[in-house]
Structure 1
Amino acid sequence: MISERVTGALVIRTALPAEAGTIADLHRRARSTYYPDGLPEADLDWAEAWRGSLERPDGHVLCAVAQGRIVAIASFRTPDGASADTVRLFQFHVDPGHWHAGIGTALHAACVEEWRADGKRTAVLDVHTDNRRAQAFYARQGWIPDPQNPPAEGDHHLFLRFSVSGE
């Protein structure tokens, strides 16, 4: 488990439950860039939802901190019903004001490092079809369409897979 990783002026560490509100605000800002008609579940208490994620004993949330501010987050865990060597990346967001600074790449590398240390072989995620920027990012990191989970008719998500072990 990564407690803290320093990459230049960027610190990547485990997020704390007390940071749920800050993380929820970053999450809303990032998601608003790819939902043209407004955020779904706008009435959801995202701070409470993040607090639940941060307190899950089977989950993990990493955050990237630059100049004392959280600028990116990644939430992952073994999905229910999946094999123990699979991890699901549930949320991965970089604050839009910090795009193209290498923060996402550094955070992704920290995730992969932790997944390898935890014995994970495969990572999965889903990405919104309108989020072309994220799709391009994931492709650059080595994610591919998941052949075991093709998109269903009318679904607005693409399912991707990543070989953690590098095979």
Structure 2
Amino acid sequence: MIRPAVPADLDAVTALHAEARATYYRGHIPDEAFDGPAEHARTRAGWAAAIERGAVLCAEQDGAVAGVAASRAIDGVMTLTQLHVAPALWRAGIGTALHRACVEGWRGAGVATARLEVFEHNRRAQDFYTAHGWTPDPDEPLSGNHLVMRLTVPHAVE
């Protein structure tokens, strides 16, 4: 089930976020940059603000948060800022369901294109996004150590 996140989800969302990020950052950047106390506090504050704005979707499975996605307009461009699934549940369709819910929301809001950044060493995520129609951004292919991708939001056939 995909649903809007509520403040009571904050602990589960931040724990899932930390677990998922560790799978692709570990060994590529210093652990402190993604797993230190300052980073945990920063990301918790970010998730709390995003939940408060109504910008977070949760995928729930067996009563627990199994995945999370967040998006917002940045500089006038809809941006998928986060999409994480609990690693134990990868390849179970949770990411696809979250992605579909994001795209449906964007479509309903009249969004024509969306943007995201994906860590350059996270091939699994890059493959996921490519399979869902995202392509490298021809105007801005890199942002630091992240690849920039774009999606033309498909519109429903009338």
Alpha-carbon RMSD = 1.4
Please say if residues 31 and 39 of structure 1, whose CA atoms lie closer than 8 Å, have aligned partners that are also in contact. Answer: no
Aligned match of 1:74: 69
Paired with 2:13 and 2:69, the residues of 1 have a C-alpha distance of: 10
Aligned match of 2:116: 125
TM-score by length of 1: 0.83
Paired with 1:39 and 1:140, the residues of 2 have a C-alpha distance of: 32
Paired with 1:110 and 1:150, the residues of 2 have a C-alpha distance of: 26
Unaligned runs of 5+ in 1: 1-10
Match of 1:105 among 61, 73, 96: 96
TM-score by length of 2: 0.88
Match of 1:151 among 142, 145, 158: 142
> Does residue 137 of the first structure (1) align with residue 132 of the second (2)?
no
Paired with 1:13 and 1:148, the residues of 2 have a C-alpha distance of: 34
**Deviations for 1:76-101, whole angstroms, at most 9, x for unmatched residues?**
0111x22xxx3100010000010010
Please say if residues 20 and 50 of structure 1, whose CA atoms lie closer than 8 Å, have aligned partners that are also in contact. Answer: yes
Share of identical aligned residues, percent? 44
3-state SS in 2 of match to 1:62: strand
Aligned match of 1:163: 152
Q: Shift of residue 55 of structure 1?
A: 1.2
Aligned match of 1:55: 52
Q: Shift of residue 36 of structure 1?
A: 2.4
Q: Which has the higher helix share?
A: 2
Q: Shift of residue 165 of structure 1?
A: 3.0
Unaligned runs of 5+ in 2: none
**Deviations for 1:104-141, whole angstroms, at most 9, x for unmatched residues?**
11111111111100110101000000111000000000
Aligned match of 2:24: 34
The count of aligned residue pairs is 148
3-state SS in 1 of match to 2:55: strand
Further displaced range: 14-23 or 25-34: 14-23
Q: Shift of residue 39 of structure 1?
A: 5.5
